[in-house]
Chains A and B, each alone.
Chain A
């Protein structure tokens, strides 16, 4: 079982609220990723990091922001949630050029 954790698992929140999705891993991986996935659809890379204080935007434009102050922690923040942000958010981590381990995901609903 991979040691990567996401909280919360499920979140229902009102439009305009600020939210932070948490992701932590205990494997010492340098690389971490955030993907957005609608049910049964493809994974869209929205942010990635290759080390502390190094973050990049992914292929899908996103209104979210990330930070990487510690190796094990890679939180994603939405400053003002909108219904279009409703989706599943998956966090993953890996070493250099090796397999990615995924968390259980956060299912976000914005009402």
Chain B
């Protein structure tokens, strides 16, 4: 079945440092989504990428979708304490009508002052 891995599993940074998490799928994806889950909360949608090689920005966050549509990355510039949480990518396969939404293993970000 489809597997989606993320690295690193954990990341501690000092406030102001940059942060990147990488997402790799075992199969080609029709699209990739990114979610943020705060401690004790539920995942909240951040963005969706659809096109091969697509790059999207949201303020300090930059999202990329790989050319082969099997990998993606999220980069945060100059982290802030409000960025704390776990970041998940989630993908839909190209087969099966895209009905199944498989989440990555997640990267837990901690930001220290």
Chain A, residues 77-111, CB within 8 Å of chain B (1/0): the string is: 00000000000001010101111111111000000
Q: Is A74 an interface position by the 8 A CB rule?
A: no
B contact residues around A59 at 8 Å (CB):
1-3, 102
A96 CA / B31 CA spacing, docked (Å): 11
Answer whether residue B43 sits at the interface, using C-beta atoms and an 8 A cutoff: yes
Name A98's contact: one of B35, B43, B48, B102 (CB within 8 Å): B48
**Residue in contact with B98 in the complex, picked from A42, A97, A100, CB distance below 8 Å:** A97
A75 within 8 A of B: no
Q: How far is the CB of A89 from chain B (nearest CB, A)?
A: 11
User: Which B69-93 residues sit within 8 Å CB-CB of chain A?
Assistant: 86, 88, 90, 92
| Contact (Cβ within 8 A) A99 B102 | no
Residues of A within 8 A of B2 (CB): 59
Could you tell me if B42 and A33 are in contact, using CB atoms closer than 8 angstroms? no
CA distance A22 to B38 in the complex (A): 23
B102 and A45 contacting across the interface, CB-CB below 8 Å? yes
Contact indicator A99/B86 (Cβ below 8 Å): no
Bound CA span A16–B28, Å: 41
Interface majority SS on B: helix, strand, loop or mixed?
Answer: strand
- Chain B residue total in the interface (Cβ 8 A): 27
Contact assessment for A101 and B45 in the assembled complex, using a CB-CB cutoff below 8 Å: yes
List, in ascending order, chain B residues with CB within 8 A of A90's CB.
42-43
Most chain A CB within a 10 A radius of its CB, from B3, B101, B108: B101
> Are B92's CB and A97's CB within 8 A?
yes
In the assembled complex, which residues on chain B have CB atoms less than 8 Å from the CB atom of A98?
48
List residues of A (22-75) whose CB comes within 8 Å of B's CBs: 31, 33, 35, 40-43, 45, 48, 50, 56, 58-59
* Residue ID in chain B nearest A104 by CB atoms: B42
Report the nearest B residue to A40, measured CB to CB: B108
Using known A-B contacts A40-B108, A42-B105, determine if residue A99 contacts B100 with beta carbons closer than 8 Å: no
